[in-house]
Structure 1
Amino acid sequence: MNLDQTLLAAAMGLPLLLLLACASARLRRRMPALFVLAPLPALAAALWAGHDSMLVLGNTRFALRFALDLPGAMLLGCAAVLWALAGMFAWRYLRERADSDGLVVCWLMTLTGCVGVFLAADMIGFYFLLAVLSVGASGLVLQGEGPQAVRASAIYLGLALLAEAFLLAGLILLAQATPDGSLLIRDAAAALPGSPWRDLTLILLLVGLGMKAGLVPLHFWMPLAYGEAPIPAAAVMSGAVVKASILALIRFLPWSTALPDAGHALALIGLFGAIYGVLIGITQSQPKLILAYSSVSQMGFLVAVIGMGLAAGDTGTALAAAFYAAHHLLVKGALFLAVGVVMLTGRRHRWPMLVPAAVIALGLGGLPLTGGALTKYAAKDLLGEGLAGSVAVVSSIATTLLMIHFLRRLSAMTAVEADARAPAAMVTAWLAMALASLLIPWALYLAIPIDTLPKAVAPAALWAALWPVLVGALLALGLDRLGTRIPQVPAGDVGEVLYPLEDASMAAGGWCERVDAFTRRWAVSCIALLLVSLLFGWTLMVG
């Protein structure tokens, strides 16, 4: 095993080892102190592992394969930073909780699945680790307080399983189309354009991964889950976990072949979600819910970028989309941690917490010289100057409006005591995350071949980034004057239609349970087996 393979093995192995160690109650109680260390091998792999090495676990009959490409390295490295700093925040957060076992286990399970999905090079390993990720993340939501957390966790898990059902069907069709029985993701993506089931496969993959990315209208799990999850859990879910679906889109789609029908449809859905998330977000009053709807909007915009690249067959889309996703990962994780810190800080000490939050929040709208401006610039050529480009500009204006609304609501959520201060570990984690969200996008832009820096900081580019932010700020002033006249939309919006179905589903579940109990009786099962045998025999005789 060479150095690259060792790094890949350590990236997956350490979180898994810590998760297995949780079987001991004594070790489990000490695990929060190791949260900050668990993702560090993944960070080392993202920085130093080569992109041509593959780790094979198994034998010739069955093996799982792990590798790291450039988009995966970008997202894995940024995710590792978020997991480490959010882990520091969670360590201090858990000191206030008596029942920390559930969060500890689910945290390490989610981390294991997250790193595994970013590294998976074959379809079997990807699907298995995606399931681990979904179960762990639903458990993180469950660590919230009250019955609403239970409901949010159930909806998250239910939609995750539904999405994975679509995804499984798509992966099976992909495996059928891949030559020589290869299960490697790169071979499947290359074979997709020539597959006899190309259109059906694309629909299944896009529906499954789109649901996990929070595309409208099946986005309602996102505000429910992020709103109920504990702050550190919401930070890693909104930042790192949701990016698994984006990386899967980047890896499974065939960028060398233009697919205009699927690409334009995907872009249209994404751009609608980008505007819809803002429209519902400005009706919310809780900072966590505003950030959740911001994620709905940002994921819609990112999927629109992917759709336009797919329509054009632009091979540069993968890097541009991964860069945009990496920036969003850092910023959204930082903003959720900011919510936790500001809520524990009195009004006399809130400004040192709010000013960094304001800079990175406005960066989502494209504030010049921030990572957000760089990502908008990187996506500009993919969206073009037509309708998609115009909607992208409107999205920047709307995002600025939503972020100012978030900052206004955040500043009102300070602690009751004016002199209160958040714990030092939480403040350190938040400020380090804020700094990372400002610096890492610049480092990535300089390190990867997206475009030249002089073009990104030219006066024309800076003005193109600035004026939508200014328009959004003016609209925010008008929104402030409306005050309470803005209608309040319940968290989950279109998901509220599921409420009437809950009683019916509970009744149906009880009926199915009674039927199952009846059919498992010895006499009934024997008679059923006899009838099936007779029917089978009669079918053979008729045949």
Structure 2
Amino acid sequence: MIETRTLLASVIVVPLGMLLACLWPRALNRMPSCLTFAPIPALAAVLLATHDTALILGSTRLHLTFALDLPGAVLLGVAALLWITSGAYALQYMQGRPNRGRFVVCWLMTLTGCLGVFLAADMVSFYFLLALLTLGACGLVIHHETPRAWRAGAVYIGLALLAEAFLLMAFVLLAAQIPGDSLLMRDAAAALPTSPQRDLILALLIAGLGMKAGLVPFHFWMPLAYAAAPTPASAVLSGAVVKASILGMIRFLPLETALPDWGTALAAAGLFAAIYGVVIGITQHNPKVVLAYSSVSQMGFIVAVIGMGMLAGDDRAALAAAFYAAHHVLVKGALFLSVGVIAATGSRRLWPMLLPVAIIAVGLGGLPFTGGALAKLVADGLLGDSIASKIATLSAVGTTLLMLQFLRSLAKTASQDPEATAAVGLVWPWLATAAVSLVVPWALYLTVPSGTLPDPLAPAVLWKALWPVLLGAVLAIALWRWARWLPRVPEGDVAVAIDVGIRVAVVWGKTLERMDSALRQWPAAAMSLLILIIALGTAVFAR
């Protein structure tokens, strides 16, 4: 049996070693065919490693700690599966395209940071790997070097650096609160509830991780980045990379201690994002942008689950959020990969290809027997019969509506050649991801002891999952009939207003600069001084 420490080390060492090997041109040229193998050690670690062993690297005073807890194992396993299939997809997708070497380097940087974050057990390693992930992901976003890609990359890196600045401040404050010289994340979470700076630290943590998670109003990087990136990159960015923020919330926020004020605020922000993503998403026509707004909605719902756990001091929220996020990793990855497959498929073969897309897409809204229904069933235990549960049901209706809008927009992107067929190298990774998204949630659900969770096959449970889907389908038909009345919201919505504000600021800045230059001329300066003297003299003699 391979030692646990060796397995944990291989999760980071293998992709990092492949990244360093890219310094040699010959290795770089052959690296695209190896991308699918880089995440395999992570999958092996999830299946074979024990959860009570830590890997410590460095000296006694300064060291990095890596460990595998249950939420981290769930997310690491599904992320590894998505990276494996997306790596195979990228091999076919990048054939004949320019800048393959740069794509590979950015892919491996993002992969190393993403998988490492799920193992990071201390604040230093978490922050370092998060920064590595950010740099690699920015390179993937700007890969096509179009004006759209450069703008998306600028927005992404700007918000990411701001979020990491907030997190760094929170980590420094947390480090001062932990007894001794420990920098472990579990010790930080334990010290946070009694810290005199608790509210400031929580505000910084939620702001930083919320930006990374795409919480409204900091969500606008998602539609810009996912639409601009190459399709396999969009799949891993939306599926795996963004879940680093969810794991950060699970590990840093004190879920075992009831914090009603912060829990209510976080749950409200998450539920608002869940509805907002649907409302803006149904106005979009680019399938990748529709999926991006779906991610805004789904990430908001996951954050709301964590918030409900903080509200009640219920640590079950950690596993519930991890389970829901794991399903989203696989489904959203499969849906993004389908965009490239359908674009290469002609009308003669379109509907057989759309069928599996439809199943997993509507499953995201809670279609019975799918992983989405199981994810919502797990989350229901945290929501109870509160108003949050009613909003969650409304979110399920909206998600179904949004996914049907995605299917309609996706069908319109099919190849103009009726006989066109997508390459096998694109089809099999996509189908494998879709199949895994259906199987893995059931495998995870069935490992829970009997009686702990409701029976997903009970008639009442099936109907509770089915009727929001049916209502969403009816609303989708109505939406398509009156679609011309919908407003045309540009992708990134809030980003457009920010762009207008920046242009206005630039204009005013140039105007003020010209005024300053004019005032610094001798005649204007002398006249201004004379007017000032007269005004002061008048004020003195008027007393």
Instruction: Give secondary structure in 2 for the equivalent of 1:64.
Output: strand
8 Å CA contact 2:378–2:453 kept in 1: the answer is no
Contact 1:11/1:42 (<8 A) preserved: yes
> For residues 132 and 145 of structure 1, what CA distance do their matches in structure 2 show?
21
Partners of 2:363 and 2:438 lie apart in 1 by 9
Runs of 4+ in 1 over 6 A off after TM superposition: 504-510
**Does the aligned pair in 2 maintain the 1:378–1:451 contact within 8 Å?**
no
The CA distance in 1 between the partners of 2:508 and 2:8, in whole Å, is 46
Q: What is the CA–CA distance in structure 2 between the aligned matches of 1:299 and 1:393, rounded to whole Å?
A: 16
2:80 pairs with 1:80: yes
Cross-structure match for 1:513: none
Contact 2:166 2:207 in 1 (8 A): yes
The answer to whether structure 1 residue 199 and structure 2 residue 220 are counterparts is no
Compared with structure 1, are the counterparts of its residues 195 and 337 closer, same or farther at alpha carbon in structure 2 (3 Å cutoff)? same
Moved more, 491-500 or 30-39: 491-500
Structure exhibiting the larger radius of gyration computed from Cα positions:
2
In structure 2, the partner of 1:165 is: 165
Structure 1 residues 386 and 61, CA gap change in structure 2 (3 angstroms): closer
Q: Which amino acid aligns with 2:218?
A: L
Equivalent positions of 1:171-250 (< 5 A) are 171-250=171-250
1:429 aligns with 2:434: no
Distance 2:224 2:379 in 1: 29
CA-to-aligned-CA distance 1:4-61 (integer Å, 9 cap, x gap) = 0000011110000000011111111111100110000001111111111101111112
1:4 equivalenced with 2:21 (yes/no): no
What does 1:335-374 align with in structure 2 at a 5 Å threshold?
Answer: 335-374=335-374
The answer to whether 1:253 aligns with 2:262 is no
State the alpha-carbon separation in 2 of the partners of residues 276 and 500 from structure 1: 22
- Secondary structure at the aligned position of 1:57 is classed as strand
Deviation readout 1:345-367 (Å, 9 max, x if unpaired): 10111122210110000111000
Question: Residue by residue, what CA displacement relative to the aligned partner does 1:154-177 show, whole Å, maximum 9, x if unpaired?
Answer: 110000000011111111111111
Aligned residue for 1:268, secondary structure, equals helix
| Distance of 1:153 and 1:354 partners within structure 2 | 31
Q: Which residue of 2 aligns with 1:528?
A: none
- Displacement of 1:272 in angstroms is 0.5
Q: Is the 8 A contact 1:446 1:453 kept in 2?
A: no
Q: Deviations over 1:245-268 (max 9, x none)?
A: 000100111121100100000000
Map Cα deviations across residues 368-406 of structure 1 (whole Å, 9 max, x no partner): 010000010101121121210110000000000000111
Equivalence for 1:109: 109
Out of 97-106 and 198-207, give the one that drifted further: 97-106
SS at match of 1:455: coil
The answer (yes or no) to whether the contact 1:378–1:450 under 8 Å persists in 2 is no
8 Å contact kept, 1:211–1:219 = yes
For 1:393 and 1:461, the matched residues in 2 are separated by 13
AA matched with 1:16: L
Q: Does 2:141 correspond to 1:136? A: no
How far off its partner does 1:497 sit? 1.6
Change in CA separation of 1:232 and 1:509 when aligned onto 2, cut-off 3 Å: farther
For 1:456, the equivalent position in structure 2 comes to 456
Q: What is the 5 A alignment of 1:310-329?
A: 310-329=310-329
Q: Equivalents in 1 of 2:210, 2:186: separation in Å?
A: 20
Equivalent position of 1:45 in the other structure: 45
- Aligned runs of 1:391-470 on 2, under 5 Å? 391-448=391-448, 452=452, 455-470=455-470
Q: Cα deviations across residues 411-441 of structure 1 (Å, max 9, x unaligned)?
A: 1110010010111011000000100000011
| Aligned-pair CA distance for 1:146 | 1.1
* Superposed counterparts of 1:463-542, under 5 Å: 463-503=463-503
SS of the aligned residue for 1:456 comes to coil
Residue 390 of structure 1 corresponds to 390
Structure 1 residue matching 2:56: 3-state secondary structure: strand
Q: CA deviation at 1:508?
A: 12
- Aligned-pair distance for 1:145? 4.6
Aligned partner of 1:304 in structure 2 is 304
CA contact (8 A) 2:121 2:184 kept: yes
Flag the 1:125–1:253 CA change in 2: closer, same or farther, 3 A.
same
1:272 match: 272
SS at match of 2:36: coil
TM (norm. structure 1) is 0.92
**Structure 1 residue 478 displacement after superposition:** 0.5
User: What secondary structure sits across from 1:160 in the alignment?
Assistant: helix
Report the Cα distance in structure 2 between the residues aligned to 1:504 and 1:111, rounded to whole angstroms. 39
Between the aligned residues of both structures, percent identity stands at 61
Determine the C-alpha separation between the residues in 1 that align with 2:177 and 2:453: 41
Could you tell me which amino acid in structure 2 is paired with residue 361 of structure 1?
A
RMSD: 1.7
Which residue is 1:527 aligned to? none
Q: Does the aligned pair in 2 maintain the 1:274–1:395 contact within 8 Å?
A: yes
How many angstroms apart in 2 are the aligned matches of 1:217 and 1:23?
A: 40
Contact 1:319 1:450 in 2 (8 A): no
Per the TM alignment, residue 186 of structure 1 is displaced from its structure 2 partner at its CA by 0.6
Letter in 1 for 2:267: A
Q: Structure 2 CA distance, aligned partners of 1:116 and 1:504?
A: 42
CA distance in structure 2 between the partners assigned to 1:449 and 1:410 by the alignment: 40
Distance 1:226 1:446 in 2: 33
Aligned 8 A contact 2:255 2:310 in 1: yes
Residues 177-202 of structure 1: per-residue CA shift (max 9 Å, x gap): 11112100011111111111111111
SS in 2 for 1:225: helix
Stretch moving more, 362-371 or 478-487: 478-487
Shift of 1:450: 9.1
Is there any run of 5+ residues in structure 1 with no aligned partner, and where? 511-543
One-letter amino acid of the structure 1 residue matched with residue 155 of structure 2: I
Q: Is the 8 A contact 1:145 1:228 kept in 2?
A: no
Q: Is the 8 A contact 1:259 1:313 kept in 2?
A: yes
The superposition leaves residues 56-94 of structure 1 with CA deviations (integer Å, 9 ceiling, x where unpaired) of 111112111100100000000000000000000001111
- Does the 8 A contact of 1:112 with 1:133 survive in 2? yes
CA contact (8 A) 1:331 1:361 kept: yes
Distance (Å, rounded) in 2 between the aligned partners of 1:135 and 1:506: 28
Match of residue 287 from structure 2 = 287
DSSP-derived class of the 1:179 partner = coil
Shift of 1:452: 4.7
Output the CA distance in 2 between the equivalents of 1:130 and 1:507. 36
Corresponding residue SS for 2:180 = helix
- Shift in alpha-carbon separation, 1:390–1:141, aligned structure 2, 3 A: same
CA distance in 2, matches of 1:93, 1:4: 35
**Given residue 211 of structure 2, which amino acid in structure 1 is its aligned partner?**
M
Distance 2:448 2:58 in 1: 34
1:531 is aligned to none
Aligned to 1:27: 27
Q: Deviations over 1:210-237 (max 9, x none)?
A: 0000000010000000010000000000
Look up the SS of the partner of 1:36 in the other structure: helix
Q: CA–CA distance in 2 between the matches of 1:507 and 1:59?
A: 54
